[in-house]
Structure 1
């Protein structure tokens, strides 16, 4: 359960370079990865290690053996994108638990980009922080209504930080980095999550499923096509 005072109206970039000891650590993530996340080295001024995911006929999974080889004592954060952009994976509970075990073993924070969490067409999105107490207390979840409510132009993202000490540190880092709150954006965010848009959201997902099914059907007619997997 995430209480209201655990949700911050901020965007989180500098948090990506923290380590559990209160210093600045290097960043680790799996590729391919969303372009803006790959800009973290410049934005957070931290070293980054990229680890390619395993790919089998366009189906991607995290390569935990490679992650084990890539992590160092200087690594402070693992950046998780779930649902994944751009590969389209919705990671399973087993996969996310492996991430949590990996993070615990190496004392890493997990910064989870879950902005597409309401656009899952099949299966279930599992918030990283919901896995267990360890994951809850050592993670920051970044999200926005921009995707599901089609309001990416409004300047309002938010971070879910159940750990009060971590949340305080995040707020201190955020001072002076972000613009003042935007009343139009906050009104839109309230409307996106107060239940008044639930029917519209389901209609949107139905529409996107139909688009996907149409695309798959047309692609299936192409000679030499690859089989579809998970979208």
Structure 2
């Protein structure tokens, strides 16, 4: 069996309406009292903020804007300081990187200079060594030539001595078979030998003459002494 909704009478409706109206009035009254309290509280806070404590200055009506502006300025100043510090750090890093790069280039240039100096010194030493080697070779060649020439001269002198002996033993018959330039050398040698012999003979004769003079002096010396004693 289905139930149908009951219809309220006008009296009940009037009671319900009045109850709802009373509730809304109370709520509105409470809301207004809250707003009034909040307004008075805000005014007291504003007054206290304006007046401040005994060691604080009194604020003006535009103090909030001024404080806000100061805060914004401080914030901007802080941002500027951060940006400046960031730029300074970037500049320091760039400066350090430039210094490191310059030092690297300087080290590279110094090493290259040292390598060039060493290469130059090695080249100089090689040139000196080559010069010494050439000089030694030249000296050795000169010594070898000198020794060869000395051997040839000794051989020529030996041959000349042999030919001189043959000339002294055989006479002019041997000279006929000797070349003209060797004949001249042999004649020169013969003249030198003759001069040496002559000078030796002269020396012997002079020594004999000197001894004779000493003998005569010694012979006459006693007679002169004897005559002086007789006087």
Q: What TM bracket, shorter-length normalisation?
A: under 0.3
Structure-1-length-normalised TM-score: 0.17
RCO higher in structure (CA 8 A, sep ≥6): 1
Q: When you count helix as a share of all residues, which structure comes out higher?
A: 2
Please identify the structure whose Cα radius of gyration is greater: 2
